[in-house]
A = this chain, B = another copy of it.
Amino acid sequence: MTTQPARGMRDFLPDDLRRRDYVVGVVRDVDERYGFDPLETPAVENLDTLLGKYGEEGNKLIFKILKRGEHEASGQADLALRYDLTVPLARVIAEYQATLPKFFKRYQIQPVWRADRPARGRFREFYQCDIDTIGSASPVVEVEQLSAVSEILKELGFQDFIIRVNHRQVLSTLLTNAFVPPEQHSLVLVVLDKMDKIGPDGVAKELADEGVPEDVRNRLLSWIGAAFRPDWLNWLKRQFTIMDGPGEAGFENLREIVELSAQTAAADKLRFDPSLARGLAYYTGAIMEINVPDMAGSLGGGGRYDNLIGTFLGREVPACGFSLGLERILVVMSERKMLPESVVRGASDVMVTLWNSETRGDSLALATSLRAAGLRVDVYPEPDKIGKQFKYASGRKVPFVAVVGDDERKNGTVTIKDMRTGEQVTQPRAEAGQYLKQRAMSNEQ
């Protein structure tokens, strides 16, 4: 019998988990500071809730659960594992519409599962950290979300990230003005979306392979190559000769989002990128994606999707969301050694030794009083050579060891050893908690 976790899934041992919990803690704190409320939905959804929401490819990647009682016999599945956090949110909005506030802002940090082929950095169980705002079409929604994710990344120590922004209607206008035939729209968008991976030459080649005429290719590439111009948005708009109402509104919306962001944590972080599409079918307005120089993929992304909630609710509701990729953020932070060392602390501040069977009660009483002082305390569980106990504490990186031997019992004291300096002091038993608390706190600084 194998003892490995299931393929594409991971066990998180303590050090790893403390690193993850640190990042999740920052995400949660900032989300709360932006007025988002927490939400959790079940890991398991009715299969019908998920089917047809993620396209042909997505359908195949849904983990399906056998119907109770039927099991292997019929092979019938009626449940499935959560595939993302957005479809469950849409279901929640529809189910509890009477009790939810007019503007529902929620954050949700939970795992999702995909029956994908596992690969380096691609898992079958991974965490998403989402914020979504339901009920308002105002650009303030996008601005607040861009600010929140910027603040999260800055608090984690990222300085060099940028957030690329685009707009579905700007993309449509771009294709129209480049004279891309309507039947090639979605094809061309898929190729354009690869710009940050394969560069302009790669995009030009793929477009040629797909039979996109040379003059169309040249127009597209000259416009897209203008991204990162200081006056990008106005410049691009001036290039366009065909401009309908939705196109105008898209440009105006994107301009507002960028201008208003100057007042927020996202100031100086936004870059217009007319090639950004992120699976266009889903988005109806702004599209956003975070990048850092040393990672090919994104650290997260999102956009406005005003149609999805309607699938469940029967009427359209404006919605916009941003999803951070916890796994990728951790990869980059780990490679760059950005995780503060204090995050991976041992399980305890102090280990209490155990002298012999008679003194177990004294060791436990000492542990009780040290814990009352707020310390994290381990007790060596069985009588053992004192040298082995010190060695164990040292291997576990416990900074202090407290000894209650025969002398200490007689005198009502405790001997405390600082494991990093080797220094030993003897303290009255009643004062040991206060003493150690101060020492432990000064070490953390």
Choose from B33, B81, B354 the contact partner of A371 (Cβ within 8 Å): B33
Question: Cβ of A106 < 8 Å from any Cβ of B?
Answer: yes
Whether B365 lies near A42 (C-beta < 8 A) is: no
Docked pose: A237 CA to B68 CA in angstroms: 47
Question: Cβ of A434 < 8 Å from any Cβ of B?
Answer: no
Question: Cβ of A187 < 8 Å from any Cβ of B?
Answer: no
Residues of B within 8 A of A361 (CB): 259-260, 262-263
What's the nearest-Cβ distance from chain B to residue A288, in Å? 17
What's the nearest-Cβ distance from chain B to residue A56, in Å? 14
Q: Which of A2-10, A201-209, A211-219, A418-426 contacts B (4 or more CB under 8 A)?
A: A2-10
Residues of B within 8 A of A367 (CB): 144, 264
Whether B395 lies near A101 (C-beta < 8 A) is: yes
Docked pose: A113 CA to B6 CA in angstroms: 17
Question: Cβ of A72 < 8 Å from any Cβ of B?
Answer: yes
Whether A72 lies near B65 (C-beta < 8 A) is: no
Whether B71 lies near A74 (C-beta < 8 A) is: no
Docked pose: A234 CA to B71 CA in angstroms: 51
What's the nearest-Cβ distance from chain B to residue A58, in Å? 14
Residues of B within 8 A of A220 (CB): none
Size bracket, chain A contacts:
35 or more
Docked pose: A443 CA to B381 CA in angstroms: 45
Whether B11 lies near A263 (C-beta < 8 A) is: no
A72 with B76, Cβ < 8 A, contacts A13-B39, A17-B40, A65-B64 known = yes
Residues of B within 8 A of A151 (CB): 371
A64 with B71, Cβ < 8 A, contacts A6-B44, A364-B140 known = yes
Question: Cβ of A37 < 8 Å from any Cβ of B?
Answer: yes
> Contact string, A60-71, partner B, CB cutoff 8 A, digits 1/0?
000111101001
Whether B63 lies near A44 (C-beta < 8 A) is: yes
A103 with B65, Cβ < 8 A, contacts A44-B9, A92-B11, A96-B13 known = no
Residues of B within 8 A of A79 (CB): 6, 63
Question: Cβ of A102 < 8 Å from any Cβ of B?
Answer: yes
Whether A11 lies near B42 (C-beta < 8 A) is: yes
> Contact string, A364-405, partner B, CB cutoff 8 A, digits 1/0?
110110010011111111100000000010011000000000
What's the nearest-Cβ distance from chain B to residue A250, in Å? 17
Choose from B68, B73, B263, B360 the contact partner of A368 (Cβ within 8 Å): B263
> Contact string, A331-367, partner B, CB cutoff 8 A, digits 1/0?
0000000000000000110010010000011111101
Residues of B within 8 A of A5 (CB): 41-42, 45, 91, 95
Choose from B63, B138, B259, B347 the contact partner of A37 (Cβ within 8 Å): B347
Whether B33 lies near A12 (C-beta < 8 A) is: no
Residues of B within 8 A of A39 (CB): 11-14, 17
Choose from B100, B125, B378 the contact partner of A105 (Cβ within 8 Å): B378
> Contact string, A114-147, partner B, CB cutoff 8 A, digits 1/0?
0100000000110000000100111011011001
Docked pose: A396 CA to B92 CA in angstroms: 19
Docked pose: A41 CA to B111 CA in angstroms: 12
24 sample A-B contacts, Cβ–Cβ < 8 Å, listed by A number: A1-B48, A2-B46, A5-B42, A6-B79, A13-B92, A14-B39, A32-B347, A35-B377, A42-B125, A43-B113, A43-B125, A44-B63, A44-B113, A63-B65, A64-B65, A66-B66, A68-B115, A72-B75, A101-B396, A138-B382, A140-B379, A260-B364, A263-B368, A264-B364
Q: Which 4 residue pairs spanning A and B have beta carbons closest together?
A: A75-B75, A35-B378, A9-B42, A14-B37
